A and B are shown apart, each in its own frame.
Chain A
Amino acid sequence: MSKVKTTNVEVRLPSRMGFEKVAMSTAASVAKLMGFREDRIEDLKTAVAEACINAIEHGNRLNEKLSVGVVMSAGEDSLEVKVIDDGKGMKTQPAKPDIDRKMHGEEDPRGMGMFLIQALVDEAEWVAGTDGKSSYVRLVIRLDKEQA
């Protein structure tokens, strides 16, 4: 039985807003090397950026002594991205934002990051660390057969 070969790329970010763009452009470069279409790369960029923003802001609470790990694993037909922080992880799954409720002041205008992540990639899961930290979000995008 042959084992699928994966190639890993890792980035470590400071917990400072704006550095999500480093992970975003690295993920885009990996996806481009793998042959993803431009529109899928744009989806991935937004999903990775939002995952890193959540990790910086909510997971590590903007504590610059903590870093965010981003591990990209390029497989034969998919790219997995894990974004790891020192928070306790998510207890609930993301809800779809309701623009009418936002417009009427019944829902915070913010809070769309997790929804965007889930909507833009093929798989998204939030995993709480067993030790109460080292939680991560795992994203997967798959190459379509016609673009592989």
Chain B
Amino acid sequence: MQSETKSHVDQLTSPAGHPVTVLRFEGDIASTSKDAVLGTYQALPKATAKLILLDFTKVDYINSSGIALVIQLLIEASNSGQKVYAYGLSAHFVKVFTMVGITKYAGLFPSQAEAMAAL
């Protein structure tokens, strides 16, 4: 019933010359998304993937279990010395992420271009 979460990884370079690993998600982010969210993140090389950008542009539905997966990703990234940013959230989910405090640990941007310009 929940739409499967798809994810893929792109390697980009910011205008400032920093390598940025982009995790692009598609579908629902819910309790069934562990492999797509945490699994994809955990497969990244920790030594080189220091700036991580989460792309939520193609995500329509995120529930509290999905938010918990994002928090688990933030915990692991923090423990590995990685910085996490995100873009493409709807105004509603920007509000929800702010309410639960995620914005304290992950910078949110409206678009990929604005995120890349800041990294």
A42:B99 contact, CB within 8 angstroms: no
Closest 7 CB pairs of A and B: A18-B1, A99-B101, A42-B92, A18-B2, A109-B71, A113-B64, A110-B68
A20 — which chain B residues lie within 8 A by C-beta? Answer: 63
- Give the contacting residue for B2; candidates A21, A39, A42, A111; CB below 8 A: A21
By DSSP majority rule, is chain A's interface helix, strand, loop, or mixed?
Answer: helix
Which residues does B use to contact A, with CB under 8 Å? Answer: 1-2, 30-32, 61, 63-65, 67-69, 71-72, 74-75, 78, 90-92, 96, 99-102, 104-105
Check: A126 CB closer than 8 A to any chain B CB. Answer: no
A116 — which chain B residues lie within 8 A by C-beta? Answer: 64, 96, 99-100
Which residues does A use to contact B, with CB under 8 Å? Answer: 16-21, 39, 42-43, 46, 49-50, 53, 97-100, 102-103, 105, 108-113, 115-116, 119
A18-B1, A53-B65 given as contacts; is B78 within 8 A of A99 (CB)? no
Give min CB distance, A91 to chain B, whole Å: 20
A105 — which chain B residues lie within 8 A by C-beta? Answer: 75
A97-B100, A102-B75, A103-B71 given as contacts; is B65 within 8 A of A110 (CB)? yes
Q: Most chain-B CB neighbours within 10 Å: which of A103, A105, A119? A: A103
B1:A21 contact, CB within 8 angstroms: yes
A99:B96 contact, CB within 8 angstroms: no
B65 — which chain A residues lie within 8 A by C-beta? Answer: 53, 110
In the assembly, what is the distance between CA of A111 and CA of B1, in Å?
Answer: 22
B1:A19 contact, CB within 8 angstroms: yes
Q: A42-B92, A53-B65, A109-B69 are in contact. List 17 more A-B contacts (CB 8 A).
A: A19-B1, A21-B61, A42-B91, A46-B92, A50-B63, A99-B100, A99-B102, A100-B104, A102-B101, A103-B105, A105-B75, A109-B71, A110-B65, A111-B64, A111-B68, A113-B64, A119-B99
A102:B71 contact, CB within 8 angstroms: yes
In the assembly, what is the distance between CA of A99 and CA of B61, in Å?
Answer: 21
- Give the contacting residue for B68; candidates A17, A21, A109; CB below 8 A: A109
In the assembly, what is the distance between CA of A42 and CA of B104, in Å?
Answer: 23
Give min CB distance, B33 to chain A, whole Å: 12
In the assembly, what is the distance between CA of A113 and CA of B67, in Å?
Answer: 10
Give min CB distance, B41 to chain A, whole Å: 14
A53 — which chain B residues lie within 8 A by C-beta? Answer: 63-65
Give min CB distance, B99 to chain A, whole Å: 6
